[in-house]
Amino acid sequence: MQQVKSGDKIKIHYHGTLSDSTVFDSSLQREPLEFEVGSGMVIPGFDIGVMNMVVGDKKTIHIPFMEAYGPSAPEMIMDFPRSQFPQDLQPEVGMQLQMNSQEGQQFPVVIVDVSEEFVKLDGNHPLAGKDLTFDLELVEIL
């Protein structure tokens, strides 16, 4: 049977959870994920985890945060003056917003704290600093 190797295009179902069993993503209710192994389309630990699987294989992989989205960077957490928010926007913890970098590129942030003077924004990827677990099922090698 053909085993997955770097450069193969594959279709795979996955179910991703955090260490506390919280589900963060799953393909089980939609089409399987299709990608080229080793091309950088997925996080490094996922690429490594699918290697040598054969069609029909099911397995669970654990990906430490350094092989996923990396550590949470303290410099990506910033206090933003509440006075600079639009008056009709009521900032709340958990709210997602878009900000512009100095180069004009947009990036997502999440409100993590609100005080009278400042709104604390976190620009880290939501899964940064988290170890991930994936249940995998290889559907097809294209």
Question: What tens digit of pLDDT does each residue of 60-114 get?
Answer: 999 999 999 999 999 999 999 999 888 898 999 999 999 887 888 888 999 999 9
Check residue 112 and give its pLDDT.
95
Check residue 107 and give its pLDDT.
86
Domain regions of the chain by residue span: 9-70+127-141, 74-122
- CATH no., domain 9-70+127-141: 3.10.50.40
Is 4:50 a contact under the CB 8 Å cutoff?
A: yes
User: Which of 87 and 31 is assigned the larger pLDDT?
Assistant: 31
Check residue 5 and give its pLDDT.
97
User: Residue 57 CB: number of other CB atoms within 10 A?
Assistant: 15
Q: Which residues of 99-131 are buried (b: 16+ CB within 10 A; e: fewer)?
A: eeeeeeeeeebbbeebeeebbbbbbbbebbebe
Classified by CATH at the fold level, domain 74-122 comes out as Thrombin, subunit H (2.40.10)
Task: Find the mean pLDDT for residues 32-48.
Answer: 96
Q: How is residue 81 written in tokens? A: 């003056």
Is 5:37 a contact under the CB 8 Å cutoff?
A: yes
